[in-house]
Structure 1
Amino acid sequence: MSFEQRNREDSLVAELGLTTHFQNIPSSMFTAFRCFSGECFAASGLPIAAVLEDSHGLPFVLGYVVCYMLVSLGIYNVILAVYVDITMRAAKESEAVTAEQHSRESIRIARTTRELLKKFAAAYRQFQDLDETETSNKKHLDFSPMESNFTDEDIHGHIAITKELFLLVIQDQSVQFLMDELELPHDRANLFEIIDADGSGTLHVTELVQGLLKIRGEVKKSDAVATLLATKAIQNQLVEPWCHC
């Protein structure tokens, strides 16, 4: 580029009021970025693209359109696609980790519950072998040697846990440890009444397992309120027929 052409272009830029926007390479790059991002105005308030179109004509328009489409539809979309791909990949990895943790937790709970049932089954068999006098005077059960001989069929057999037996079993330290593993409430002396929903006075294996698993975790206030409201609703349903008589 000759010196005269350079002076001619500088004069043209000055006449158009774009000197501050194209005085050097960094300023030109920033001006191009502004135009591609939507803020393409000169200091005078005129659109830079329109001013350059009037001065340079069709070659500028074609070059500007091609560059704008390349930047806006090409690079921006590539960046967006990379971001979305990274986000989706992280979500899938997190979901896989969560599923694996849930599977491990389910297996751990199942094994812990099985060990707890073995202790109740062993205590039940030992309790059955005692006569009435020994049963009333029994303060502690040593069922650890017996539980290793129990199979799944023995556990799921006809076992009925009374409140007296339940209170004896939960005094064992190993039972307390298993209950801690299951995250059962610490007020375990009252668990029998909670699990024995039908009020039969005995707990069978299915009833015991379902009850223990349902009361796992921290007790929420909403659970207590929901139970209270449900009880009141049942009471109202029982009272209404008597009121109409």
Structure 2
Amino acid sequence: AASLLRMIKLFKLVRLLRVLQMEVFRDLMKMVQCMVGGVHTLVWAMVLFFFVVYLASLLFTEFFGRHDVDHVYDHFRTVPRSMFTTFRCAFGDCTTIEGQPIFDHVRENYGPIASFFCCCFVFVVSVGIMNVITANFVESTMAAAAKAKRANKTARMHDTDLWNSRIVTLVRLLASHTGVELRGMLSEQIQDLCKLQVPSEVIDRVVRTPEGCQALCELDVFECDHEYLSDILDADQSCICDVTEFIDGIRRLRGEPRRSDIVCVDLMVRDIQRQVRETLQAVREFGNR
């Protein structure tokens, strides 16, 4: 019975996890991931803030906890009590139980120097330490969000089911707009597909259709490239693109621009320049004979 109960609880947990993967909970899960990514920074921020409060509390106890002064002594008579008061003052709640500012009583009983010291503490904590902690925490959460986004995009880029289904959609759209009827599975019509020549205007019409635009967006092809897709895929400027060139071009267009793409183009251009120089040198030598 106990094992059955554990299985039921596990089943409920799995169902809950599946529910949280729904689109409506996407922002919630993103915030949770960011919070988890910033926990390490938050812990160290708590350690830093604890030591700052502890050191300030030692000073406050030494200065304000020695003499029985109304509205001041009760808040700084011991180190733990002083730490609690210092913590409250760091967040702006530096008042007595009657609602009177503690620092006003400090100024009246200990002079302007003690009041100036208290003001410096509040300024350093609220403007300096708090902003530093906030900046580091925000940076950590943003880094965690960016890491999660990259992981999701990488998983989507390696999702073969997504790639196959969207490419099939695009190929069928190209075939239908070209006037070719494809029946059954495309894997059974490979030879016919390899012979299919798609004009540039057909590609332009396909990318303007809702199905084609959605398929390209789900394949992480930027929407700003859709308008120029036929020109991008037409390497020889023949205004005709076969299916294999189309599929290979879509595969290369997926995702963010990569440095490797730029390096590859640079190396290819250098190789072309070398070949042109060799050809030019050969032509000159032939002309001098």
**TM-score, length-normalised on structure 2?**
0.38
**TM-score, length-normalised on structure 1?**
0.43
**Which structure carries more helix by proportion?**
2
